Amino acid sequence: MAAMGTGLEIRLLGELEVRRDGAPVPLPQSKKTRALLAYLAVQRAPQRRDALCELLWELPDDPRAALRWSLSKLRPLLNDDARERLEADRERVSFTAHGADVDLARLRAACADGVERLGVAELRALEALCRGPFIAGLDLPAQPSFETWRLGQQEQARRLHLCVLDALAAKLADAPGELAQLMRKRIELDPGDEASHARLVSALAQSGALAEAEQQVEASARMLAALGPHDAAALRAALRQPRKSETPAPKPFELDAPLRQEVRFCTARDGVRIAYATVGSGPPLVKCANWLNHLEFDWDSPIWRYPFRALAKDYTFVRYDARGNGLSDWDVSDWSLDALVADLEAVVDAAGLERFPLLGISQGCAVSIEYAVRHPERVTKLILYGGYARGWKLHDDKERVTQNEAHVLLTRTGWGRDNPAYRQLFTSFFIPGATQEQMDWFNELQRITTSPENAATLLDALGTIDVRDRLAHVRTPTLVIHARKDARVTLPNGRELATGIPGARFVILESQNHVLLEQEPAMARFLQELRAFLAE
């Protein structure tokens, strides 16, 4: 795990650097040439020349000539007598490490293998790699494809840094002075994480710096208040109480042999054909559709296969593809909340279900809430994970609204292209803790599940969803679950659901993923909480 002292090093975390035998190597002056270097070092797989041209150069600039010039500058930088790392033919360009040390690749590999297994010295070495944001300062505002990719990689790198900080903090729980330093770094990366603020206050208090701890309570309260509702009492309590040890993660459920699902079709009231699937046996459990679904592709995917099959062990599990994606009709004009609720109504009627518990995930939570208010006699229990009561257009955070408006535009122009840079941005927010296999699958899911126009239209329509005035009318027993560090739908959204629905129970999972992953303890906790709630 120790950093390499000789050979070629490519540093992508912080400002782009290339070092040979420990000494810095001058980089080309051209920002686009340096951007090309960063892109190839991260992507690794061979890239088509035309895709690289589209990524980095405008058409009037003779992109192919510009690409050839950039490659001529990078070859002597990356190749040596013993190794040809940068290769190009008439169609493709590829970078192969051949012993070169790429800091982001090392960080990803360590996190994928499980950083919690590493010792303190190894974790400190990994943390030292994180010198700053991914290729800091190397932005290309005129190249939207590259900017989308860069921002996605920047978010992934931030999440990896948080992963290392968390693992190191767990090892240094009895060293409050060093723990406080780690929490300051963590808050800088994730200022809205209330647990980090509380841990910083607690670490300062335990180290004897009581005056500084008091000051930190005030500073953290101001910072959190600027971001939204927060638990002020928890900050004060951190002055007096040591941090409790983490609750052991529940063991994941063992899955039996794969079950076989049956796909059928029904028709919504406006004539749109909706595909739905049933699998398993036992009492019914209906899952509302979310972004994005594909009944067949999901079933064998490295993300959805585990929770779906775990639920199908004990329930007749019913799920469907909403209008505009998956196996349902793509040619639709109505994307309103009423239309999405009508899809759910059509499915449960076609499946012959009279009373059933309803599981909503992400935007499926708003649809589930509206359905439960309209049909209280049919929904026995309501489980809401990663949801929100109001869409992104209705939030006060103008920067987030602007960001989502840009996402809509980029989706409409680049979603279906072979270059996954457009879709990678969404993947980075949905599953930042994923393995490369899971990320590749999610990128592919988005491409095959719907058209660019449908994806953009749906994303835009979801921005106007508003069920805040319906929360108080929910009479169904409700469990609200949310990941603490969800970057796609942040924790205050889950808290708004839980406080607005009478008697709702609120469970916070220790995860950074909007879509929970098979390998993380939060997945087992989610299934445990859901099963216990349904068994009551």
3-state secondary structure string across 371-414: HHHHCCCCEEEEEEECCCCECHHHCCCHHHHHHHHHHHHHHHHH
Q: At 483, phi and psi to the nearest 5? A: -80, 135
pLDDT for residue 4 is more than 70? no
Count Cβ neighbours within 10 Å for each residue of 308-337 and write b for 16 or more, e otherwise.
Answer: bbbbbbbbbbbbbbbbbbbbbbeebeebeb
Q: At what angle do helices 194-206 and 176-189 cross, to 10 degrees?
A: 160
pLDDT for residue 304 is more than 50? yes
DSSP state of 5: S
Q: How far is CA 410 from CA 165, 191, 279, 392, in A?
A: 33, 27, 36, 16
Rounded Cα distance, 420 and 56, in Å = 14
pLDDT for residue 500 is more than 90? yes
- Whether the CB-CB separation of 387 and 493 falls below 8 Å is answered with yes
Q: What tokens does 297 get?
A: 């592709």
- Whether the CB-CB separation of 243 and 204 falls below 8 Å is answered with no
pLDDT in tens, 92-116: 999 998 889 999 999 988 888 888 8
Q: Give the alpha-carbon dihedral of 264, 530, 528, 162, to 10 degrees.
A: 90
Rounded Cα distance, 429 and 446, in Å = 13
Q: Give the alpha-carbon dihedral of 199, 203, 206, 209, to 10 degrees.
A: -120
141: pLDDT confidence band, cut at 50, 70 and 90? confident
Q: What percent of the chain has pLDDT over 70?
A: 90
Token pair 């500084």: residue: 212
Q: What tokens does 390 get?
A: 């109001």
Task: Say which residue, 206 or 389, is predicted with more confidence.
Answer: 389
Task: Say which residue, 401 or 472, is predicted with more confidence.
Answer: 472
Helices (H) and strands (E) in the chain, counts: 20, 15
| Res 21: pLDDT | 87
Whole-number mean pLDDT of the chain? 87
Q: At what angle do helices 144-171 and 421-430 cross, to 10 degrees?
A: 30
Rounded Cα distance, 41 and 33, in Å = 12
Q: What percent of the chain has pLDDT over 90?
A: 49
Q: How far is CA 32 from CA 143, 154, 157, 466, in A?
A: 10, 17, 21, 43
CA nearest 455: which of 410, 495, 491? 410
Q: What tokens does 17 get?
A: 């650097």
- Structural domains of the chain sorted by starting position, each given as residue range(s) with its CATH number in brackets: 8-118 (1.10.10.10), 145-238 (1.25.40), 262-391+467-535 (3.40.50.1820)
Rounded Cα distance, 107 and 140, in Å = 25
pLDDT for residue 253 is more than 70? no
| Res 3: pLDDT | 41
Q: Are strands 101-102 and 86-88 parallel, antiparallel or unpaired?
A: unpaired
| Res 71: pLDDT | 93
pLDDT for residue 461 is more than 70? yes
pTM: 0.58
Average pLDDT over residues 256-282: 89
pLDDT for residue 299 is more than 60? yes
- Whether the CB-CB separation of 147 and 39 falls below 8 Å is answered with no
Q: What tokens does 395 get?
A: 């939030």
| Res 186: pLDDT | 92
CA angle 459, 435, 35 (to 5 degrees): 70
pLDDT for residue 70 is more than 80? yes
Rounded Cα distance, 14 and 3, in Å = 16
pLDDT for residue 88 is more than 60? yes
Give the sign of the dihedral formed by CA 281, CA 286, CA 291, CA 295. Answer: positive
Amino acid at 189: L
Token pair 């930088």: residue: 77
Helices (H), 190-251: 194-206, 210-227, 232-238
Average pLDDT over residues 372-399: 90
Mean pLDDT comparison of 51-60, 124-133, 373-382, 426-435, highest-scoring range: 373-382
| Res 209: pLDDT | 83
Token pair 């040809």: residue: 84
Amino acid at 391: G
pLDDT in tens, 354-366: 999 999 999 999 9
Rounded Cα distance, 483 and 500, in Å = 18
Q: What tokens does 187 get?
A: 């808050």
Rounded Cα distance, 234 and 489, in Å = 22
pLDDT for residue 515 is more than 50? yes
Collapsing DSSP to helix, strand or coil, 273 comes out as strand
Residues 6+ positions from 72 with CB-CB distance below 8 Å: none
pLDDT for residue 244 is more than 70? no
pLDDT for residue 353 is more than 90? yes
How far from the centroid of its chain's Cα atoms is residue 324's Cα?
23
* Terminal Cα distance for the chain, rounded: 48
Q: Give the alpha-carbon dihedral of 258, 259, 263, 269, to 10 degrees.
A: -110
| Res 255: pLDDT | 54
- Whether the CB-CB separation of 181 and 172 falls below 8 Å is answered with no
pLDDT for residue 419 is more than 70? no
